[in-house]
Amino acid sequence: MNDSRRRRSAAASCLAVTGALLAAGCGGEASSSTTESSALKGTPVKVMVWNPEDTQGSAQPGVRATAQAYEKWINANGGIKGAPLKVLTCNEKNDPAEAEKCAQQAVAEKVVAVVGSYSLAGDRYMPILQKAGIPYIGGTGVSAAEFSNPLSFPVNGGTPTVFAAHGRQLVEEGCEKISGVRYDVAAAAIVAQFLTLGATSAGGAAPKDLKVPVTATDLAPQVAAATKDSDCVSVILGTHSDLFVKSYVQSGAKTELGSVVGNLTPELAETTGGSGSPLEGAAITGYYPPVSDQAWKAFVEAADGTDIDTSNGANETTWVAFTVFTEAAKTLPTISSKALVQELNTTSGIDTGGLTPPLTWKGSAALPMKGLNRIHNTTATELTIRDGKIEWAKEGSTFVDVRKVLTSAG
């Protein structure tokens, strides 16, 4: 895998939680799969996906590609209640103004929903969608609006959940003195907050919070500080986690490494020794099962022959979001935004085939934390890098729920 694609993959998780690191026009309609959908009858079910491409910021072309792969796959498998799914795309270019334009296009096109998108500008586009009554399913999981707007339906618990779970996993795997390495930006402070919450809830000490200047390229000083008097280091540098690992290898340090999914990647392990990499055995915390799990079979098949990175967290969230949309839409007598919102708000549990626990957005299941009340799924997965691949940390592992940990913070 080339360097630019490896960096895009690494950005999926961490840059979503350090949004301040990132910075016209909407894209046209996605081409539908005419061969697979030609036998489908009825009015096409229109949805939109948006994501940043052709930008100096964190590009996520895989989000669009995953949505189009899902469109092709579902239309080859009966469509939505026998009607073809039609995915419209929009490039928001990591620009809040462009994200607003994407939302305005969604309204003009009268889409049923915006599904599985990637943008850090939720505070700009969610009010537009809310006014039009269009639900937002899935998404990046970083902006305040995604966790509080009543038309937002996150499929995972975002930054609070994954970092609280990561802190617990590190302590439970024997880490006594943890260093957390993250960028020196205000938006990344949430990383330290929830990493500390998770670690202390498991009986561990509060991790040492080390900040890296966003312009730094030689991270030898940060490696030295992180590994001194620590037995584990959580590397939360997204696109530039490779810079830390490079300096770590050069230092000869033996401190254990860990992170949330999307930072210490299989590609990075491959370039640092494969099964002999210092990343072998790293504690990785994610939202979903590893790609080797049978729950991802349809996604892996749909992505076959494309350059879609199926281990990219943003791409996985897009697939999960489209799965949720399909499962909810097929229960409706008439598919509309209003009916879809009603179904999502009242369902007792949407089955994602094992990609997540059954999902519900009932008020009774909401996380009782101010500003986070649209988080309902508070589960994460404990993973590791084994033989250069991300796998379950332990045989027989399943989702871990950190709701009690989160609510203990008030």
Give pTM, 2 decimals: 0.87
Q: Please provide the size of the chain in residues.
A: 410
Which pLDDT value is given to residue 8? 33
Residue ranges in 282-393 assigned as alpha helix (H): 297-303, 313-329, 337-346
Residues sharing a CB contact under 8 Å with residue 163, sequence separation 6 or more, in sequence order: 17, 190, 191, 193, 194, 195, 197, 198, 260, 285
**Residue 302 near residue 291 (C-beta atoms within 8 A):** no
**Residue 138 near residue 70 (C-beta atoms within 8 A):** no
269 phi and psi angles, rounded to 5 deg:
-65, -40
List strands edge to edge, sheet with 45-51: 85-91, 45-51, 113-115, 136-137, 152-153
Strand partners, 389: 386
- pLDDT tens per residue across all 410 residues of the chain: 443 333 333 333 333 444 333 223 344 433 334 445 567 988 999 999 999 998 866 788 999 999 999 999 999 999 999 999 999 999 999 899 999 999 999 999 999 999 999 998 999 999 999 999 999 999 877 788 999 999 999 999 998 999 999 999 999 999 999 999 999 987 788 899 999 999 999 999 999 999 999 889 999 999 999 999 999 999 999 868 999 999 999 999 999 999 999 899 888 999 998 888 999 999 999 999 999 999 999 999 999 999 999 988 899 999 999 999 999 999 999 999 999 999 999 999 999 999 999 999 999 999 999 899 999 999 999 999 999 899 999 999 999 999 999 998 76
